C-alpha cells in the first residue's frame, strides 16, 4: 500500500485506507506568504499538523513547496481546491483517490443535479437523507416533516443576555502550541509574513481527541438547544448553541458522517428534540455537502461571477477588522468577534457582514477572499458558493432564490443589538438612520431593474416606490461612501 500523502485539511483517520497506512505530511511556509491569514487560523492549522506529526507512521517534513517534499510513490485523497488538485495531477508518482471528508459522493451529486435548472438546498438535502438513510422512518422523514425551520427561526429569548447553555470545554494549550506561537512571532519579525486579527488562546480542536471531546460535549449539552435560536444573535453570547465544530470538520479531524450519526442517536434516545437535530443535520449533510459539490460542479470562472456589477474594493477598516472604528453596534461587535476569534456564527456572517458588503457593492471576489483569510474555518471550497453565491447573490440566483438583503428591522428582530445602538433600525434617513436600513433601500434602488423579474422581490420593490424620502436617502448613502458606519 503506498504512503498516503495528506493535506492539512485531511488530518483524521478517515483519510487513510487502514489505521496503519503510513502517512506523509508536509508543512509549507509558502502558503502563508501568498495570503494574509488570521493569526489564529495560522496557529490552528500549524498546531493541528504538528500534533498529527507526532503520531506513529507519520513522516513529517517541512519544505517551501509541496513539490520539493513529495517523492516516491504516494496516494492522496482528492484535495479540496482546484489549485491543489492541479498540483497533484502534475506531480509524478502520485495516485489520486476519491474525495473523503464529505458524506455524499461526486457521482451522486452529479446524478442528482443533472438536468435541473436550479439547484436548491432543500431538494438536495432530502435526496441526501434518503440516500444515506439519515433521520428516516422507512421512506418517510422522521417525525413526518422534512423541514423543521418553522420551529427553528425564533428570535433570542426575550430579555436574556445569554442563552444559558454550557460553554464548550476549554482547550488546554501544550508545548506544540507554544512552539507554533514562537514560530509565528518569528516569521512576522524576520520573514515579512503578516497576519490579520489578534492572537489569542487556541479556541478550536487541533487533535482528534480534542475534536471528539468537543463533539461529545456538544451533543450532550448544547445540541438540545441548537434549533430554536440557531438564527438569533445576542451581544453577550456570541456562541449561542452553535457547535463550533466547523474548524475541526474542515481540518478533517472529524468525519461529518460520525457527527451526523451522533446527533441522530441523541434524537433516537430521546436526549435531543427532533427540531434541533434536524436543524443541525441540515447544516452538515445539507449545506456543507451542497456547498462542497457546488465548488466543483460550477465552472472555475464561477468564483469571479459578478451579476450585480459590484466593483468597490473593501475599505481598510473592514479589511483590517478595525471594529473600534465602527459605531453600528451589530457590525462593530461582529467584526470584533472576527478579530478576536476568527469565528462568528452563521447569521452574523450572512446577515451582518455579507449583507453589509452586498448593500455597499463590494466586489464579491474580494469579499470571498476576505472571508477565506479571516475565518478559522475558511477554505476556498467553502467560500465560493457561500460568499459569492449565497451572501453576495453575484451569480444572479443559481443557488438561491433571492438576495439575502435585509434592513435593520431584521437585525432588531433577531438580536439584542439595536437596543444599545446609536442608530435606529426604523430610521432610514438622517443622523440616526440605521446603515442597514438605509443600505437596504439603496441596494434595492440600485438593482431595481435586475431584480424586477424575481417574484420574491416584488413586494420589497413595491415598498421602494412608496418611499417619499428616497432621494435624500440615496444622497446620504452616496455621501457615506466607504466610511465606517
Ligand atoms: P453550526 O451552526 O453548529 O453548524 C454545524 C455545521 O454545519 C458547521 O460546523 C459546518 O460544518 C456545517 N455548515 C453549516 N452551514 C454551512 C455552510 N453554509 N457551508 C458549509 N458548512 C456549513 N463555513 C465554513 O466551514 N467555513 C467558512 O469559511 C464559512 N464561511 C461562510 C461565509 C458566509 C458568508 C456564510 C453565510 C457562511 C459561511 N460558512 C462557512 C457556513 C457557516 O456559517 C459555518 O459553517 C458555521 O457558522 C460554523 O460554525 P459552527 O461549527 O458552530 O456551525
Task: Spell out the SS3 assignment of the chain.
Answer: CCEEEECCCCCCHHHCCCCCCCEEEEEECHHHHHCCCEHHHHHHHHHHHHHHHCCCCEEEEEECCHHHHCCCCEEEECCCCHHHHHHHHHCCCEEEECCCCCCCCHHHHHHHHCCCCCCCHHHHHHHHHHHCCCCEECCEEHHHCCCCHHHCCCCCCCCCCCCCCCCCCCCCCCHHHHHHHHHHHHHHHHCCCCCECCCCCCCCCCCHHHHHHHHHHHHHHHHHHHCCCCCCECCCCCCCCCCCCHHHHHCCCCCHHHHHHHHHHHHHCCCCCHHHHHHHHHHHHHHHHHHHHHHHHCCHHHHHCCCCCCCECCCHHHHCCCHHHCCCHHHHHHHHHHHHHCCCCHHHHHHHHHHHHHHHCECHHHHHHHHHHHCCCCCHHHHHHHHHHHHCCCCCCCCCCCCCCCCHHHHHHHECCHHHCCCECCCCCCCCECHHHHHHHHHHHHCHHHHCCCHHHHHHHHHHHHCCCHHHHHHHHHHHCCCCC
Ligand 1, atom 22: closest residue by C-alpha = 288
Average pLDDT for 368-396: 96
Cell numbers representing residue 373 in the block: 483569510
Q: Is the CB of 229 under 6 A from ligand 1?
A: no
Supply the pTM of this predicted model: 0.97
Distance 250 CA to ligand 1 centre (A): 10
Task: Tell me which residue has cell 456538544.
Answer: 218
| The domain over range 301-480 is classified in CATH as 3.30.465.10 | no
Tens of pLDDT, residues 301-360: 999 999 999 999 999 999 999 999 999 999 999 999 999 999 999 999 999 999 999 999
pLDDT at 65: 82
Cβ-contact 100, 14 below 8 angstroms: yes
Q: Is the CB of 215 under 6 A from ligand 1?
A: no
Tens of pLDDT, residues 234-247: 999 999 999 999 99
Domain segments of the chain: what residues? 3-97, 106-171+206-297, 301-480
Q: Is the CB of 383 under 6 A from ligand 1?
A: yes
Of the pLDDT bands very low, low, confident and very high (cuts 50, 70, 90), residue 475 is very high
Ligand 1 nearest atom to the CA of residue 387, by list position: 34
Distance 347 CA to ligand 1 centre (A): 10
The sign one gets for the Cα dihedral 143, 144, 147, 151 is negative
Ligand 1 nearest atom to the CA of residue 245, by list position: 51
Of the pLDDT bands very low, low, confident and very high (cuts 50, 70, 90), residue 406 is very high
Of the pLDDT bands very low, low, confident and very high (cuts 50, 70, 90), residue 31 is confident
**Under CATH, what is the fold of the domain 3-97?**
Rossmann fold (3.40.50)
What is the CATH code of the structural domain delimited by 106-171+206-297?
1.25.40.80
pLDDT at 104: 98
Ligand 1 nearest atom to the CA of residue 354, by list position: 34
Please state whether beta strands 74-77 and 136-137 pair in parallel, antiparallel, or not at all (unpaired).
unpaired
Nearest one of 341, 24, 35, 42 to 183, comparing CA atoms:
42
Quote the CA–CA distance of 344 and 349 in Å, as a whole number.
7
Ligand 1, atom 28: closest residue by C-alpha = 378
Cβ-contact 81, 61 below 8 angstroms: no
The chain-wide mean pLDDT, for the chain, equals 95
Ligand 1 nearest atom to the CA of residue 390, by list position: 36
Q: Is the CB of 246 under 6 A from ligand 1?
A: yes
Tens of pLDDT, residues 408-426: 999 999 999 999 899 999 9
Q: Is the CB of 423 under 6 A from ligand 1?
A: no
Distance 217 CA to ligand 1 centre (A): 19
Distance 358 CA to ligand 1 centre (A): 19
Quote the CA–CA distance of 462 and 46 in Å, as a whole number.
52
Q: Is the CB of 284 under 6 A from ligand 1?
A: yes
pLDDT at 68: 84
Ligand 1, atom 24: closest residue by C-alpha = 377
Ligand 1, atom 43: closest residue by C-alpha = 346
Q: Is the CB of 176 under 6 A from ligand 1?
A: no
Spatial CB neighbours of 126, under 8 Å, sequence gap ≥ 6: 141, 146
N-to-C CA span, the chain: 58
Please state whether beta strands 140-141 and 136-137 pair in parallel, antiparallel, or not at all (unpaired).
antiparallel
Ligand 1 nearest atom to the CA of residue 249, by list position: 11
Chain CA centroid to CA 79, Å? 18
Work out the angle at residue 356's Cα, subtended by the Cα atoms of residues 292 and 383, and round it to the nearest 5 degrees. Answer: 15
Q: How many CA atoms lie within 13 A of 484 on its CB side?
A: 18
Tens of pLDDT, residues 274-287: 999 999 999 999 99
Q: Is the CB of 370 under 6 A from ligand 1?
A: no
pLDDT at 408: 97
Of the pLDDT bands very low, low, confident and very high (cuts 50, 70, 90), residue 460 is very high
Ligand 1, atom 38: closest residue by C-alpha = 386
Mutate to test the pocket of ligand 1, among 104, 238, 246 (most ligand atoms within 8 A of CB): 246
Q: Is the CB of 341 under 6 A from ligand 1?
A: no
Average pLDDT for 41-61: 96
Chain CA centroid to CA 93, Å? 34
Quote the CA–CA distance of 389 and 305 in Å, as a whole number.
9
**Buried b / exposed e across 281-290, counting CB within 10 Å, b at 16+?**
bbbbbbbbbb
Amino acid at each position: 500500500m503506498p504512503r498516503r500523502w495528506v493535506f492539512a485539511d485531511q488530518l483524521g483517520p478517515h483519510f487513510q485506507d487502514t489505521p496503519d497506512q503510513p502517512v506523509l505530511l508536509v508543512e509549507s511556509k509558502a502558503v502563508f506568504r501568498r495570503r494574509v491569514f488570521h493569526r489564529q487560523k495560522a496557529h490552528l492549522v500549524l498546531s493541528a499538523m504538528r500534533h498529527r506529526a507526532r503520531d506513529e507512521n507519520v513522516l513529517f517534513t517541512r519544505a517551501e513547496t509541496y513539490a520539493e517534499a513529495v517523492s516516491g510513490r504516494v496516494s492522496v485523497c482528492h484535495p479540496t481546491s482546484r489549485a491543489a488538485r492541479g498540483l497533484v495531477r502534475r506531480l509524478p508518482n502520485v495516485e489520486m483517490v476519491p474525495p473523503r471528508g464529505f458524506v455524499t459522493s461526486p457521482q451522486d451529486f452529479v446524478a442528482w443535479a443533472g438536468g435541473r435548472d436550479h439547484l436548491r438546498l432543500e431538494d438536495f438535502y432530502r435526496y441526501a437523507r434518503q440516500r444515506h438513510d439519515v433521520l428516516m422512518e422507512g421512506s418517510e422523514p422522521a417525525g413526518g416533516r422534512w423541514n423543521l425551520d418553522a420551529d427553528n427561526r425564533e428570535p433570542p429569548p426575550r430579555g436574556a443576555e445569554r442563552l444559558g447553555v454550557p460553554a464548550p470545554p476549554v482547550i488546554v494549550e501544550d508545548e506544540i502550541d507554544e512552539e507554533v506561537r514562537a514560530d509565528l512571532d518569528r516569521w512576522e519579525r524576520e520573514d515579512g509574513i503578516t497576519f490579520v486579527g489578534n492572537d489569542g488562546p487556541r479556541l478550536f480542536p487541533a487533535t482528534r481527541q480534542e475534536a471528539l471531546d468537543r463533539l461529545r460535549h456538544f451533543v450532550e449539552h448544547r445540541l438540545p438547544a441548537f434549533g430554536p435560536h440557531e438564527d438569533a444573535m445576542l451581544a453577550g453570547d456570541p456562541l449561542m448553541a452553535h457547535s463550533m465544530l466547523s474548524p475541526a470538520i474542515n481540518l478533517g479531524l472529524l468525519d461529518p458522517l460520525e457527527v451526523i450519526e451522533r446527533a441522530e442517536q441523541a434524537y433516537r434516545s430521546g436526549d435531543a428534540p427532533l427540531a434541533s437535530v434536524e436543524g443541525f443535520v441540515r447544516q452538515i449533510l445539507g449545506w456543507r455537502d451542497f456547498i462542497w459539490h457546488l465548488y466543483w460542479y460550477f465552472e472555475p470562472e464561477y468564483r469571479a461571477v459578478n451579476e450585480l456589477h459590484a466593483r468597490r474594493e473593501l475599505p481598510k477598516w473592514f479589511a483590517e477588522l478595525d471594529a473600534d472604528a465602527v459605531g453600528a453596534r451589530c457590525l462593530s461587535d461582529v467584526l470584533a468577534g472576527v478579530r478576536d476569534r476568527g469565528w462568528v456564527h452563521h447569521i452574523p456572517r450572512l446577515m451582518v457582514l455579507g449583507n453589509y458588503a452586498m448593500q455597499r457593492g463590494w466586489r464579491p471576489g474580494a469579499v470571498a477572499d476576505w472571508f477565506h483569510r479571516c475565518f478559522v474555518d475558511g477554505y476556498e471550497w467553502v467560500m465560493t458558493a457561500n460568499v459569492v453565491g449565497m451572501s453576495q447573490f453575484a451569480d444572479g440566483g443559481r443557488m438561491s432564490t433571492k438576495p439575502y438583503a435585509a434592513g435593520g428591522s431584521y437585525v432588531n428582530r433577531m438580536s439584542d443589538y439595536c437596543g444599545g445602538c446609536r442608530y435606529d433600525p426604523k430610521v432610514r434617513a438622517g443622523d440616526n438612520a440605521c446603515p442597514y436600513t438605509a443600505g437596504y433601500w439603496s441596494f434595492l434602488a440600485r438593482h431595481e431593474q435586475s431584480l424586477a423579474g424575481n417574484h420574491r422581490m416584488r413586494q420589497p420593490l413595491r415598498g421602494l416606490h412608496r418611499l417619499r424620502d428616497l432621494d435624500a436617502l440615496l444622497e446620504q448613502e452616496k455621501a457615506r461612501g466607504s466610511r465606517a458606519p
